[in-house]
């Protein structure tokens, strides 16, 4: 029982030693394309969850269309997500660009709404 804390410290230090290699997928998706994929997936999920589309069209809002658009399969996407997740600077840059794109879309929608209110 006295050795239990020491055991956890050893396990944690071994698990966090940074020796886990970054495994490159067979085909690396460029960061710009990953950003586009994330943007399209996010947009697809937001539209599907909204109440602005008829129920009979919701089954068409699935990830498979995005995968077909970019010519990838789910395994390739997951491998690349894992690859970029192991590279914090790259994934941070992707999500910062994604955040900017989302704000641009939001501002565009706000401008359209303001324009409609003026008319």
Mean predicted confidence (pLDDT) in 4-19: 64
Phi and psi of 54, rounded to 5°? Answer: -70, 150
3-class secondary-structure state, position 54:
coil
* pLDDT of res. 74: 92
Average pLDDT, the chain: 83
pLDDT tens profile 30-82 = 999 999 999 999 988 888 887 777 888 877 778 888 899 999 999 999 999 99
* pLDDT of res. 6: 62
Mean predicted confidence (pLDDT) in 11-21: 63
């Amino acid at each position: 029982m006295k050795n239990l804390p020491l055991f956890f410290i050893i396990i944690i230090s071994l698990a966090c030693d940074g020796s886990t290699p970054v495994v490159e997928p067979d085909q690396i998706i460029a960061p710009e394309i990953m950003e586009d994929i994330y943007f399209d997936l996010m947009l697809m999920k937001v539209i599907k969850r909204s109440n602005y589309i008829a129920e009979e069209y919701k089954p068409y809002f699935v990830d498979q269309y995005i995968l077909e658009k970019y010519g990838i399969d789910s395994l390739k996407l997951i491998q690349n997500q894992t690859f970029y997740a192991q590279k914090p600077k790259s994934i941070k840059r992707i999500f910062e660009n994604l955040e900017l794109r989302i704000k641009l879309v939001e501002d565009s929608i706000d401008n359209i709404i303001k324009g409609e209110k003026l008319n």
